[in-house]
Structure 1
Amino acid sequence: MYQTHRNICPRNCYDTCSILSTTRNGILISVEGDPLHEYTKGKLCAKALEDVKKVYSQKRIRYPMKQRGRFSGYWERISWDEALNLIAGTILRLREEYGNALPLALNKYSGNFGVLHNAMEGLFSGLGSTTRAIGSPCWSAGVDAQTYDFGTFFCSDPGDMGKSQLIWLWGVNPAWTAVHQMPLLLNAMDRGVKVVCFDTYFSATAARSSHFIQVRPGTDGLLALGFSKVIVEENLLDPDLASYSLGHEEFIQYLRRDIDLNHCAEITGVPVKTIRELAVDYAKTHPACIWAGFGLQRYTNGGQNLRAIDALGALAGHIGEPGGGVQYGQFKTWQFAGQLQGLHPKQTPESKGLLKSVPQDKENREDRLLSINNFAEQALQCSDPPVKMLWISGRNPLSQDGNLHLWKALIQKLDYIVISDLFHSMSSQAADLFLPVTTHYEHWDLHASYWHYWVGVNEPTIAPVGESRSDLQIAWAVSHKLNQLAPGSCAFPTGGEEKETLLKEVGPDMLEILGLETPEEILNGPVRARFPATAWENRRFKTPSGRFEFGSARAEASGLPAFPVYRPPLSPSEEFPLRLLTPHHATTINSQVYSSETEKEDFIFHLSPEVAERYALQTGERVLVWNKFGKLEGIVQIENRLPREAVILYQEPVKSNLPLNSLMGTPNTDMGNLSLGAPGFALNETFINLRKLN
């Protein structure tokens, strides 16, 4: 018997696709896009189309597993009761030994963005004050930049871009990372709309755009300031600027005094003539939209880069115009009730969405918060009490974090490591206990996008494979075991129904946003939030002044420049003269691999002809790439339109015992503390050297 079910892709991705899955006699046999969803429109990316194979993969872990010695690879199947006894026994022992729960640490992020996965935060909240990873490795500097400028983090409906007469794609590669936006962009070009792609290398999106502008890594902010300088010189400013902005006069003075177009061209690699032509075109064309990607803010000057782009949009009068604006992302559709993770009742809806951990008055709980990007370093510094137990959920830090030597040192000091995941990973090699989790086809969940405005329910399609359990079921089971062994030891619920828990997350704020009367209505299918299609269309902002803030007192109070100014990125050294850039690949999201294709035999280092000539290299030759953190071997691939001072290494699966992040430290971005509690990961500030291998 065939049945159709509604699912939503939970990946850390712009699109958050609506899926129709088909089962036959309880077996998942196919997935396809939901044609009624106004954004994804019945299409799925290659990653989602591999879901059936992923669900039934022979590599998937189906039962709780215990490792006989970390990194040994000797895993034995155990029962859930034994696994829960090991976890609960360790928690109770450590809490008794140290007098509190701070030795217990949770390191969790975006392996699954479903709201019910916040149960892990809720479980740890139920234990009392614990140690948590806070912040984001993805977009922290950009979130803060737009919060300083606009007052909160919000973007237009992606369909609003269809009204644009000029589209600038700045550091974003939707052909690989946001495929459902591509039809709109291609249709725009068919209508004669100019689509300009700014990037450090000739991406798949650049190949499909009207024009490609190659920008030297980390200099995007200076280029935006150069464009703004031209707009000032040509007297193309928005005539209404004074009515909705704060500090524009001082910013204009800075542009006139400190920004030189010749210097801008020298640093960015974009000729003065091109800067002038682009700036005039942008200022004179209405509406004009900029879509700023995450890559341009993954530098030590990342927040300043995006603030400069925001300022450019405001100077030209594109903020708040239909089809215009500077789009980055949003969390306005994430205004869930927050009951699972135990949020402070006075938190704003935006901070609920950001999942920022804070104390709860009623429990007098204050968690010890460690930056997710410097977690190992900061955890090693914890001494009163030390971190002794670590639970990793929705993350793979040994494949994604920098400073692996610090992670190895931390692992040696930990008494117990638990990981909950679908497959073994670099990080599970270090674990004592592996808990098998369900895919989104095996549990209830609730999803919102950080790009489009749709919110929807994911319903279970099949029974859990093997003995896998959802994060919520695991959290309930751990709490039950704890309270069984030591009554009152955990305040998190000890059981319940997933569907009922889901509906409780659809609180009054979300009902109002979605235009629903009752939570149960969301079970009928995805619902679009009732936000205007154009962000800031009334030009009333959420800043302290209520205006777009060129000059931000909050930024200045945080030790940052009040205005968008140019701050250079880090520079290479004589010892390590090449910058390493590691963009996402079409087939992966970070270390999550979905393609059924076999892993590559070698890392492939993409070099410009200039770099290849400098090192006397040819395509296909083997090289050693190294820096003070580590080394990798791989194959050279020479390509045109790559940066002359950098090497590209895509995040692709490779048959290697050494992960890509072996070469990475943990430089921080300039912003991130305001909204997410910690700076971001400036992973584009990685520098290497290379040589040919015989």
Structure 2
Amino acid sequence: MVKGICGLCGGNCGMEFSVEDNKIIHVKGDKDHPISKGFICPKGRALPEIIHSKNRLSKPMKKDDKGNWEEISYEEAMDIIIQKLTYLKENFGSESLAIHTGEAGVGKQFSAYARRLGQAYGTPNQSSAGCHCHLSKEMANKMTIGVLPSPDYGNSKCIVLWGYNPMNSSPYQMMDINKAINNGAKLIVVDPQETKTAKRADIHLQVRPGTDGALALGLIHVILEEKLYDKDFVEKWTIGFDKLIDLVKDYTPEKVEKVTGVPKENIVEAAGLFANNKPGNISPGIAIELLTNGFQTARAISILQAIMGYVDVVGGAIMGSPAPLSSLELEDVKYNKDPIGISQYPLFCKTYNSAQANIFSDAILEGEPYPLRAMIVIGSNPILTWPNANKLRKALETIDFLVVMDNFMTETAKMADIVIPGTFPIERYEVWQGADSLGDGIVGLAPKIIESEHGISEWKFISDIAKAMGYDEAFPWDREEETMEYRLKGIGKTFKEMMDIDYGYKYRDFEEKKYEKNGFKTPSKKVEIYSETLKK
């Protein structure tokens, strides 16, 4: 048995792999892993079937003029890509190319490699899966408390799962939730559906889809009306509380019931339960992020948590920070054009130095704000995951050049000019991060469990493009291990040292109320209930 990390999602669940002749025979959860503690989901259990699927791509593919596919060598595929990228840059400018990494790149190193390639090429149109989810919630919390916090379930007295069902999506988290419930914690579930988790809740707020923001403001209304908030924390550590009072005064339980469909008695009861069982925390799920008003809804939920003083305390919302790995961002990058989306989504584009992929179709079809003529898509299936699929399909049918790197012939890959077979996380080294049950920050280096018999590593693909384009200075490494060695310098560790640590390196000890030393990571150093940044 070989110990490693699943890596199919961002859960970083520890696994034990049974390997014979470079084949995964069997997997099971690693009970000693500090984060997942032996839990794995159905997708993780199916890892051998996924990795060794007969449907996996194994050769680069090129579409001919008649739309038929033919296998080509990796070298030929690279020659075509380099010729196209060189032609594009010389004739239409570097901004005519977009590079997108999808869900498969979330928390994975190749997303940072792809960004570095885009910066070296000179395109501002680098994007990720965060264009569609997660980053709106993260940005909302950054605007409010300076960081997206993590819930300390195990020590909480009231847990709110808001559009989030870890019983299905993150089973290892349920162990800490169950521990808290067994110790007397209350559970509130906000979900239109009566899930198994909702059936276990003390209160299930069965909200009408899309009205979560009104529900959050209604809960705040009750807490302010009954003076259940943390007065000392609010007076010392927030700005804009007076404006909050004015904002929520009309969101009475009666009005909110009409908007959300949640009975007013349940709204009052839930507010009291959350306020009187200290400390508590709220976990907004992806359902919040996908709302048209998702950003402001996430802001309201963050404010609800903050005015109770449940920020950065044991059992509350922990304000952690990622491991300080050496950055792969190039310095002093200058672009000829602003990223696509800067006029419609200025806060997003400036916060993440990113384009907004949701409107790439406009640039392809209508040339707004300027023509987008080529895309490199790595680990993403936009036709199934991006909004307005019909318009996107038309755009990808029209685009001059499309390269897709994936493990399977997805709906998006079928539309490409060139398809490159990729790898799964267990076929390469990967950095993983998380926090243990004590809130201590952990970073680990997941080993390569097997050699890929199908794909080309994402690092090699990206690095080969960079070197062929003459960007050797931006990509001075010959092997991915050297790149990771550079990354790990940020925590004072070498590649070899990290490979010898089974369960990660503790880079941060948990400390309560860090804001008392340096304030919050906001312009005012306080919780910004009212944000001057958003006003601008």
State TM-score, norm by structure 2: 0.88
Secondary structure of 1:402 counterpart? coil
Q: Distance in 1 between matches of 2:216 and 2:369?
A: 47
1:137 aligned partner, one-letter code: H
2:239 aligned partner, one-letter code: L
Paired residue for 1:49?
A: 45
Q: Which stretch shifts more, 396-405 or 111-120?
A: 111-120
Q: Distance in 2 between matches of 1:533 and 1:18?
A: 26
Residue 149 of structure 2 is aligned to residue 155 of structure 1: yes
- 1:24 CA drift (Å): 2.3
Q: How does 1:50-65 map to 2 (within 5 A)?
A: 50-65=46-61
Q: How many pairs are equivalent?
A: 513
8 Å CA contact retained: 1:176, 1:204:
no
Instruction: Mark the CA change 1:397 to 1:143 in structure 2 (over 3 Å): closer, same or farther.
Output: same
Secondary structure of 2:522 counterpart? coil
Paired residue for 2:122?
A: 128
Paired residue for 2:348?
A: none
Deviations 1:176-200, CA, capped at 9 Å, x for gaps? 1111111122222223322121111
- 1:28 CA drift (Å): 2.4
2:99 aligned partner, one-letter code: L
Paired residue for 1:227?
A: 219
Instruction: Mark the CA change 1:259 to 1:102 in structure 2 (over 3 Å): closer, same or farther.
Output: closer
Instruction: Mark the CA change 1:272 to 1:11 in structure 2 (over 3 Å): closer, same or farther.
Output: same
Q: Distance in 2 between matches of 1:225 and 1:69?
A: 57
- 1:6 CA drift (Å): 4.0
1:245 aligned partner, one-letter code: T
Residue 530 of structure 2 is aligned to residue 530 of structure 1: no
8 Å CA contact retained: 2:244, 2:529:
yes
- 1:138 CA drift (Å): 0.8
Deviations 1:469-514, CA, capped at 9 Å, x for gaps? 111111222334x35xxxx477543761221211211233xx1xxx
Q: Distance in 2 between matches of 1:309 and 1:24?
A: 49
Q: Percent identity?
A: 27
1:416 maps to which of 392, 395, 401: 401
Deviations 1:285-324, CA, capped at 9 Å, x for gaps? 2122222222123222212212222222233332333212
Give the aligned CA root-mean-square deviation in angstroms.
Answer: 2.7
Instruction: Mark the CA change 1:388 to 1:550 in structure 2 (over 3 Å): closer, same or farther.
Output: closer
Instruction: Mark the CA change 1:528 to 1:272 in structure 2 (over 3 Å): closer, same or farther.
Output: same
Q: Distance in 1 between matches of 2:435 and 2:378?
A: 21
State TM-score, norm by structure 1: 0.69
Residue 174 of structure 2 is aligned to residue 182 of structure 1: yes
8 Å CA contact retained: 1:35, 1:42:
yes
Instruction: Mark the CA change 1:450 to 1:554 in structure 2 (over 3 Å): closer, same or farther.
Output: farther
Paired residue for 2:327?
A: 338
8 Å CA contact retained: 1:225, 1:255:
yes
Instruction: Mark the CA change 1:168 to 1:6 in structure 2 (over 3 Å): closer, same or farther.
Output: same
Q: Distance in 2 between matches of 1:448 and 1:473?
A: 23
- 1:517 CA drift (Å): 5.2
Instruction: Mark the CA change 1:381 to 1:456 in structure 2 (over 3 Å): closer, same or farther.
Output: farther
Paired residue for 2:345?
A: none
Secondary structure of 2:95 counterpart? coil
Q: Distance in 2 between matches of 1:335 and 1:43?
A: 28
Instruction: Mark the CA change 1:313 to 1:442 in structure 2 (over 3 Å): closer, same or farther.
Output: closer
Q: Which stretch shifts more, 47-56 or 536-545?
A: 536-545
Instruction: Mark the CA change 1:36 to 1:387 in structure 2 (over 3 Å): closer, same or farther.
Output: same
Paired residue for 1:668?
A: none
8 Å CA contact retained: 1:379, 1:386:
yes
Gaps of 5+ in 2: 341-354
1:551 aligned partner, one-letter code: Y
Q: How does 1:526-565 map to 2 (within 5 A)?
A: 526-532=504-510, 538=516, 540-557=519-536
2:430 maps to which of 436, 441, 445: 445
8 Å CA contact retained: 2:7, 2:426:
no
Residue 463 of structure 2 is aligned to residue 471 of structure 1: no
Paired residue for 1:94?
A: 88
Secondary structure of 2:423 counterpart? coil
Q: Distance in 2 between matches of 1:16 and 1:41?
A: 11
Q: Distance in 2 between matches of 1:440 and 1:535?
A: 36
- 1:174 CA drift (Å): 0.7
Deviations 1:419-441, CA, capped at 9 Å, x for gaps? 11100101011011111112122
Secondary structure of 2:28 counterpart? strand
Q: Which stretch shifts more, 161-170 or 527-536?
A: 527-536
8 Å CA contact retained: 1:117, 1:471:
no
Instruction: Mark the CA change 1:141 to 1:127 in structure 2 (over 3 Å): closer, same or farther.
Output: closer
Q: Distance in 2 between matches of 1:168 and 1:21?
A: 35
Residue 6 of structure 2 is aligned to residue 9 of structure 1: yes
8 Å CA contact retained: 1:170, 1:197:
yes
Paired residue for 1:194?
A: 186
Q: Distance in 1 between matches of 2:229 and 2:33?
A: 39
